[in-house]
Amino acid sequence: MRYSQMLIPTLKESPADAEVVSHKLMVRAGMIRQLASGIYSILPLGLRVLRKIERIIREELDAIGGQEVFLPSIQPSELWVESGRWSFYGKELLRIKDRHDREFCYGPTHEEVITDIVRREVKSYRNLPLTLYQIQTKFRDEVRPRFGLMRGREFMMKDAYSFHVDVDSARETYGQMAQAYANIFERCGLTFVKVQADSGTIGGSFSHEFAVLADSGEDRIGFCNQCGYASNLEMAAARPPEGENGQPGEELREVATPGKKSVEEVAWFLSQPAERIVKTLLFETDRGMVAGLVRGDRELNPIKLKNLIGCEWAHPASEVDIASIDGPPVGYVGPVGLGLKIYADREVTALGSFITGANKQDAHFTGVSAGRDFEVEKAGDLREVRAGDSCPHCPGLYQVRRGIEVGHIFILGNKYSRVMKANFLDPQGKETPMEMGCYGIGVGRTAAAAIEQNHDERGIVWPAPIAPFQVMVIPVNYSNESVREASDTLYRALWDAGVEALLDDRSDRLGVKLNDADLLGAPLQIILGPKNLENGQVEIKVRKTNVSELKPLSGAVSEVVSLLRAL
Ligand code: ATP
Ligand code: MG
């Protein structure tokens, strides 16, 4: 490829709305342009990167028996009504109507479509297991599209779905998929962790995310510094307290706490440590309003609450919600006589007695005891883990880091197959719903994550396997005949050797070309100047280390090949 003929509109300045480095650099390197919020055009250089990631994905999925399909992006509402997600999915689902007023959506994911195909076409246990995948555009009307390709509304996803006769078979494919994902991200040159995750809207019982570690990541990951246990912070298990049921020590007593609402204020006023004050937090859920209890020095994690209840969603109740049930005054809520189902963190039930709001203005109860003074619907792990907390699996301590979720694998069980009647006949001729798994990778997000991990102040430093070009051939002055000839010959020899080279044949100053080369981030640069060429030499620069060395022109191709192999 010749630079002068390619569309590579580089920019000196980053777009004003770009917050993260990958977004800035993708725009500045001329890889992408925004068409509307969260909707991007992918330009030639960007597409070269995405295609490379896709190729790696295809190779790894084909290797474990995945078969590629291509499903429609526009999906009829009937399938979503059948699965129950038409009403559940909410505003992220872009709903559209055709000329006959029939409702459709633009697919945010494809469980419904694939399950529909498989229930029609696969009837017997003999045809299972089956893994199908596609690489295709999705649309999700994200609340806050941002960070360029990292969180777009329209984005490219690899989604795979597997169908099985039983749970063991689903688990086997899940394990193979986890390994394929590890291979994919490894081959893309990324530093990542596999973390235990919540299965979100899709549901199911078994789920891991693959997260690229980067400070700009939106997800927080809890790691053990000793045993390597890693979990999304929303799921990270807290070490249970020693002895889970404390004996009531004191009598229940109401005390006046005028104007004292926060844990800190009450703790100070009553001269008690924050861990003896219990916070009562109200949540709206699909099963009505509930209360969650955690110690005053802890935070309650709504995802853990949702999982403890076993419901679909749980959001902190607003003042309006609380007023609508004639609830207690803010700051004085407590479990005694509350009239809602109460879910308690195990650390709370482990306390013998504690302090809570008294459900009336300016008053708290002391000596409150779970079980005696109020009924606990269920006790479990509700608190959010923090850096320095004990690991539940070993004597180690939690560390917390940020990560970018690039892939997500789930075992779905028969959630979709049951409601959509995707059944197979077992050897005895009995109809049984299939077990399913689903597996996603964000292609654009993977490219963005690679930049988050591989850049410097001058631009992108691509990992070789996903670089748009492996080498930039940079003539100092392309109008000089001997330089031009040497550059053209080298450029062709590189392609003949299977090395993707970009020849910067522009008439710009050398400084401009070198800046652009650093910005675009090919792993190697070869600079050809008239003086060095007189001595039969060229300069080969490794982008990552910024180190350049003079090498004989005659051996440049093999030098490049071996450098790339080592990168
Ligand atoms: P997130 O929590 O980041 O919204 P998700 O859990 O909704 O992600 P999945 O439904 O598991 O994501 O989708 C599979 C993969 O698709 C994700 O791991 C991610 O790489 C990618 N992805 C999801 N949403 C987006 C988006 N808005 N923009 C780009 N990639 C996305
Ligand atoms: Mg999402």
- Per-residue pLDDT tens for 96-120? 999 999 999 999 999 999 999 999 9
| Phi then psi dihedrals of residue 339, to 5 deg | 80, 20
Output the pLDDT for position 200: 55
108 Cα–ligand 2 center, Å: 9
Task: Compute how many other C-beta atoms are within 10 angstroms of the C-beta atom of residue 330.
Answer: 13
DSSP 398-450: EEEEEEEEEEEEEEEETHHHHHHT-EEE-TTS-EEEPEEEEEEEEHHHHHHHH
Q: How wide is the angle at C-alpha 529 spanned by C-alphas 532 and 465, nearest 5°? A: 100
Cα(first)–Cα(last) distance of the chain, in Å?
Answer: 22
At 436, list the tokens.
């399913």
Output the pLDDT for position 87: 92
Closest by Cα among 269, 247, 250, 251 to 259: 269
The answer to whether the CB of 444 is under 6 A from ligand 1 is yes
CA distance 265 to 352: 22
Three-state DSSP class for 27?
helix
Three-state DSSP class for 160?
strand
Output the pLDDT for position 232: 86
Banded model confidence at residue 387, pLDDT cuts 50, 70, 90: very high
229 Cα–ligand 1 center, Å: 23
Pocket perturbation via mutation, ligand 1, pick of 112, 404, 405, 441 by most ligand atoms within 8 A of CB? 405
| Phi then psi dihedrals of residue 480, to 5 deg | -75, 125
Output the pLDDT for position 522: 98
CA distance 211 to 193: 5
User: Among 92-96, 105-109, 311-315, 447-451, where is mean pLDDT lowest?
Assistant: 311-315
The answer to whether the CB of 155 is under 6 A from ligand 1 is yes
Question: Which residues fall within 8 angstroms of residue 262, CB to CB, at 6 or more apart?
Answer: 331
At 516, list the tokens.
């652009």
At 337, list the tokens.
């006589």
The answer to whether the CB of 138 is under 6 A from ligand 1 is no
Q: Residue written as tokens 């670089």?
A: 467
At 513, list the tokens.
């070309």
Output the pLDDT for position 204: 45
CA distance 2 to 473: 10
Pocket perturbation via mutation, ligand 1, pick of 34, 157, 402, 446 by most ligand atoms within 8 A of CB? 157
Q: Name residue 257's amino acid.
A: T
Write the CA distances from 172 to 208, 410, 438, integer angstroms: 15, 12, 13
Output the pLDDT for position 394: 93
Closest atom of ligand 1 to 407 CA is 18
The answer to whether the CB of 328 is under 6 A from ligand 1 is no
Class of residue 60 by CB neighbours under 10 A (exposed 0-12, middle 13-18, buried 19+): buried
Question: Which residues fall within 8 angstroms of residue 429, CB to CB, at 6 or more apart?
Answer: none
The neighbouring-strand residues paired with 193 are 211
The neighbouring-strand residues paired with 395 are none
Mean pLDDT of the chain: 94
CA distance 69 to 435: 20
Per-residue pLDDT, averaged over 471-480, amounts to: 97
Q: Residue written as tokens 């053209």?
A: 488
Tell me the pairing of strands 219-224 and 206-213. unpaired
Output the pLDDT for position 500: 98
Closest by Cα among 528, 403, 398, 522 to 468: 522
Output the pLDDT for position 199: 60
Contact assessment for residue 551 and residue 528, using Cβ atoms and an 8 Å cutoff: no
The answer to whether the CB of 142 is under 6 A from ligand 1 is yes
The answer to whether the CB of 152 is under 6 A from ligand 1 is yes
Where b means 16+ CB within 10 Å and e means fewer, 412-431 reads: bbbbbbeebebbbeeeeeee
| Phi then psi dihedrals of residue 433, to 5 deg | -70, 145
Pocket perturbation via mutation, ligand 1, pick of 154, 207, 445 by most ligand atoms within 8 A of CB? 445
What are the residue ranges of helices labelled H in 498-555? 510-520, 530-534
Closest by Cα among 14, 16, 23 to 452: 23
Output the pLDDT for position 345: 97
Determine which residue's CA is closest to atom 8 belonging to ligand 1. 405
Per-residue pLDDT, averaged over 266-277, amounts to: 95
Q: Residue written as tokens 């790696």?
A: 56
pLDDT in tens, 161-209: 999 999 999 999 999 999 999 999 999 999 999 998 876 544 444 899 9
CA distance 401 to 355: 34
Write the CA distances from 309 to 17, 88, 284, 342, 346, integer angstroms: 40, 18, 12, 10, 14
The answer to whether the CB of 407 is under 6 A from ligand 1 is yes
pLDDT in tens, 47-79: 999 999 999 999 999 999 999 999 999 999 999
